[in-house]
Structure 1
Amino acid sequence: MIDTAPRSSRVLLLPGWQDSGPTHWQSRWESLHGHRRVEQDDWLWPRRGDWMARLDEVLLQAPERALLVAHSLGCQLVAAWASHSRHTVRVQAALLVAPPDTERDDMPPNLFNWRPIARRRLPFTSLMVTSSDDPYCEHDRALQMAADWGSELVSIGPRGHINGDSGLHEWPQGQALLQQLAARSD
């Protein structure tokens, strides 16, 4: 069988609900490292199918494989997309940061269409980064998602939702995790 997977990689940033603001580490990585943000049409009322179609579209625009760097709802996007797409070979690996538990009773109605959480094992290497005090996901739920997705799990202690309010700035530790993930999945 001929391997048709692209060889080199690029980094695609997958923000969560309401996008990543200017103080978010994803925005800083975009400026500092030239990573590409996957823009969605609707950041306020995100529709899972629309977001999945957009990710497919962006992945098909270039011949290189991608390293996906997802935050929050972007993690749920990766899981849902990988469960349905025929283009998963275009992904080298995924860094999944602070996945929310969209099945919680207190989730806003904007996120109801992200239920149920996709539970299929990801067909590429993945690393999940969690915080011990994430207000959107209890630790045991994060552990279950990591197990379901086949993701290695790294907890960085009490850092909230690992976003702009977490004081991470450029988050060099996250960049190091991304480089390690890229090396492991090459």
Structure 2
Amino acid sequence: MKASEADIFIIPGLDNSGPGHWQTRWEDKIKSARRIEQTDWSKPEPESWVSTIIQEVEKAKRPAVLVAHSLGVVAAVKAAHAIRPGIVKGAYLVGMPNVESDDHVPATLRSFAPIPDVKLPFPSILVASRTDPYCHYDFAADFGEKWGSLVVDSGESGHMNEQSGHGPWPEGLMTFAKFIAKLS
């Protein structure tokens, strides 16, 4: 599949993705990409975020591909089994936070726990960093395996956001392009 043949849904995390973030850059670069807008980016509520993802993805006119970062990963995974089967062809998941641990995320994000631990109904890649302050690599890799995701070790990449130097993130875009090319 080509990106132009899919509806690509950008799903940011807490506080949205700013103008220099790789998600925003991809949204600007990929004509078939659009951001799922949440009602409140700074005070996320799981039910609202998940239902917004379901509603927006079910409006897809073409095969859907999810591109989630941080808290958007957890929300997308929570929405996965509620989306009508066959709409989503794949998900590219980056920098999941451990919302089950006060040591890793603010207490306000704990309302997104528990993280679903069942196989996703579509192919996925989970990109995880060994130095992500919001989640230990082994914790993320364990969930990636439970989801049936191909787990990609991004090394010491921090949270894979603008602050960790992942503004344009060409390596991520190349991995995404290879992933989407294998979807049907």
Q: Output the TM-score relative to the length of structure 1.
A: 0.90
Q: 2:30 aligns with which of 5, 30, 33?
A: 33
Q: Unmatched 5+ residue regions in structure 1?
A: 1-7
| Residues 1:19 and 2:9 are matched in the alignment | no
Partner AA of 2:88 in structure 1: V
Aligned to 1:71: 69
Partner AA of 2:94 in structure 1: V
Please state how far the C-alpha of 1:86 moved relative to its aligned partner.
Answer: 4.2
Partner AA of 1:29 in structure 2: W
Aligned to 1:166: 164
Aligned to 1:119: 117
Comparing 171-180 with 144-153, greater Cα deviation is found at: 171-180
Instruction: Show CA shifts across 1:94-153 (max 9, x none).
Output: 000010010012321221210111111100000011111000000110111111111001
Q: What are the residue-to-residue correspondences of 1:106-185 with 2, within 5 Å?
A: 106=103, 107-185=105-183
Separation (CA, whole Å) in 1 of partners of 2:133 and 2:150: 21
Please state how far the C-alpha of 1:88 moved relative to its aligned partner.
Answer: 3.8
Aligned to 1:50: 48
- 8 Å contact kept, 1:48–1:114: yes
Aligned to 2:96: 99
List structure 1 segments (4+ residues) > 4 angstroms apart after TM superposition.
none
Comparing 113-122 with 85-94, greater Cα deviation is found at: 85-94
- 8 Å contact kept, 1:82–1:88: no
Separation (CA, whole Å) in 2 of partners of 1:62 and 1:185: 16
Separation (CA, whole Å) in 1 of partners of 2:124 and 2:164: 23
Separation (CA, whole Å) in 2 of partners of 1:96 and 1:88: 19
Query: What SS class does the counterpart of residue 95 from structure 1 fall into?
Result: strand
- 8 Å contact kept, 2:90–2:180: yes
Separation (CA, whole Å) in 1 of partners of 2:134 and 2:107: 14
Please state how far the C-alpha of 1:25 moved relative to its aligned partner.
Answer: 0.5
After superposition, the Cα gap between the structure-2 partners of 1:80 and 1:21, relative to the gap in structure 1 and judged at 3 Å, is same
Count of equivalent residues: 178
Q: 2:84 aligns with which of 84, 87, 110?
A: 87
Q: What is the aligned-residue identity percentage?
A: 38
Instruction: Show CA shifts across 1:45-80 (max 9, x none).
Output: 211111111111111223212110000011101211
| Residues 1:9 and 2:6 are matched in the alignment | yes
Query: What SS class does the counterpart of residue 86 from structure 2 fall into?
Result: helix
Instruction: Show CA shifts across 1:30-58 (max 9, x none).
Output: 12223211100011121111111111111
Q: Output the TM-score relative to the length of structure 2.
A: 0.91
Q: Unmatched 5+ residue regions in structure 2?
A: none
What's the C-alpha RMSD, in Å, of the aligned pairs?
1.3
